[in-house]
């Protein structure tokens, strides 16, 4: 068993008051001891040393390169992220991932001029991402890691478009390849998501409120994403034809200008009929209604006083998943998530009608083919759903 390599210490040179670190027998001075700049430089050198590329970043800035990494990140966040990664006036999960990916970049190179940031520096940031993940969780997913490194590249590309970053800086970063399978033993592969056994789906239905049970059954039939079924409203469903058409008000690929239409066949319609007698702008599945119905069933006459926030008017991914997780525990079945139900539908449709039918129903369409085949695909999808539900 290999012994863990000791990290060189951040030290103080008493005579000069400078901070320094000793790497491979050579002392690297970092600036005034205890300052943020010296600690940042220390973290940067440790990351580069760990990656096997120890080098001292030039202290003299390139002529005309006055914008720092921190300043670029702030501009990118305020001018781009807060405007683009918003859905229905709320921040998307992408904002969270962008924030996480920029954190190690700013820790190592925040004060560095953008013109001095190159491929080796980007590799050092990646190394810190891996090391932090290993320490916290024992490893990191390879796709997740490559995506976070890609976010940094996209920030520099945005900077080029805004004339904040020299184009050759971004071009040099593009030379850093994504980690491939097997390149680093600390980087794990994502486990393949499998369908939920039907008996496990059935087992939890008695342990969830009727709103959650309806979402599970509709999602199992249609292959919708969890965030599509949770926001269903009566006004979003066109019921004029034999097969109803549901158009989610928001969906995963809307930023690519791809339309999402979910055909609802007889089985899904039968489940949804109970929930449609309400205003068009009301959500079908409401946690608030679920709580009120639970209180009534227990004979509680007075409204409940909530310790924190009151239930929302519709479920989201997190609350839906939490409800399923609790039900799995109560039913004594292995934990599964609503996202797996999409795989159930895809597997069944592919088995009966082929891979192309599964692609149509689940809405897996590239931008280039959507304009050409959208109408034809929708008609085919409606025919299939008319037969299977």
Q: What is the pLDDT of residues 181-218, one digit of tens each?
A: 888 888 888 777 788 888 999 999 999 999 999 999 99
367-378 pLDDT tens trace: 333 222 234 456
> 76-101: per-residue pLDDT in tens?
999 999 988 887 677 878 889 999 99
By residue count, the chain amounts to 389
- Look up residue 177 and give its two tokens: 């390849």
CB atoms within 10 A of CB 203: 16
User: Which residues lie closer than 8 Å to 38 by C-beta, 6 or more apart?
Assistant: 18, 19, 30, 31, 32
- For residue 305, is pLDDT > 70? no
CATH number of this structure's domain 66-188, picked from the four choices 2.60.40, 1.10.150, 2.30.130, 3.30.360: 1.10.150
Q: Which one has a higher pLDDT value, 37 or 368? A: 37
Least-confidence region, from 110-119, 240-249, 321-330: 240-249
The answer on pLDDT for 228 being more than 70 is yes
- Mean model confidence pLDDT for the chain: 80
Helix (H, G, I), strand (E, B) or coil at 379: helix
Residue 226, pLDDT > 80, answer yes
Classify burial at 117, counting beta carbons within 10 Å of its beta carbon; exposed 0-12, middle 13-18, buried 19 or more: buried
Rounded to whole angstroms, how far apart are CA atoms 148 and 144? 6
CATH fit for domain 198-388, picks 2.60.40.3500, 1.10.443.10, 3.50.50.60, 3.40.720.10: 1.10.443.10
**What number of H helices and E strands is found in the chain?**
16, 10
199 three-state secondary structure: helix
Q: What ranges do the domains of the chain cover?
A: 66-188, 198-388
Averaged pLDDT, 230-253: 84
More confident residue, 36 or 294: 36
């Amino acid at each position: 068993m290999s012994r863990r390599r000791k990290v060189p210490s951040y030290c103080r040179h008493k005579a000069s008051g400078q901070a320094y670190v000793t790497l491979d027998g050579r002392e690297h001075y970092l600036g005034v001891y205890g300052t943020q700049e010296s600690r940042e430089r220390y973290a940067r050198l440790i990351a580069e040393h760990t990656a096997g590329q120890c080098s001292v970043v030039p202290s003299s800035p390139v002529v005309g390169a006055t914008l720092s990494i921190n300043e670029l990140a702030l501009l990118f966040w305020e001018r781009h992220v807060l405007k683009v990664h918003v859905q229905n006036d709320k921040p998307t999960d992408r904002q969270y991932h962008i924030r996480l990916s920029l954190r190690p970049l700013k820790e190592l190179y925040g004060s560095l001029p953008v013109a001095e940031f190159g491929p080796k520096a980007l590799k050092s940031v990646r190394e810190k991402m891996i090391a932090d993940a290993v320490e916290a969780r024992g490893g990191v997913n390879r796709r997740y890691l490559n995506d976070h490194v890609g976010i940094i590249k996209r920030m520099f590309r945005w900077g080029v478009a805004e004339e904040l970053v020299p184009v050759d800086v971004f071009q040099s970063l593009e030379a850093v390849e994504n980690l491939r399978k097997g390149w680093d033993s600390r980087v794990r592969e994502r486990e393949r998501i499998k369908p939920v056994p039907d008996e496990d789906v059935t087992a939890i239905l008695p342990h969830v409120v009727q709103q959650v049970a309806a979402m599970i059954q509709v999602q199992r039939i249609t292959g919708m994403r969890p965030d599509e079924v949770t926001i269903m409203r009566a006004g979003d469903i066109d019921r004029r034809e034999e097969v109803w058409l549901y158009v989610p008000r928001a969906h995963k690929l809307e930023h690519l200008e791809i339309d999402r239409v979910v055909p609802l066949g007889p089985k899904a319609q039968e489940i949804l009929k109970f929930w449609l007698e309400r205003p068009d702008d009301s959500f079908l599945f409401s946690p608030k209604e679920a709580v009120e119905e639970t209180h009534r069933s227990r004979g509680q006459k007075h409204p409940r006083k909530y310790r924190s926030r009151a239930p929302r008017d519709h479920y989201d991914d997190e609350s839906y998943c939490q409800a399923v997780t609790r039900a799995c525990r109560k039913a004594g079945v292995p934990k599964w998530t609503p996202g797996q139900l999409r795989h159930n539908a895809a597997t069944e449709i592919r088995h009966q009608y082929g891979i192309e039918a599964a692609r149509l129903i689940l809405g897996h369409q590239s931008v280039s083919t959507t304009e050409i085949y959208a109408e034809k695909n929708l008609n085919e999808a409606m025919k299939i759903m008319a037969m299977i539900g």
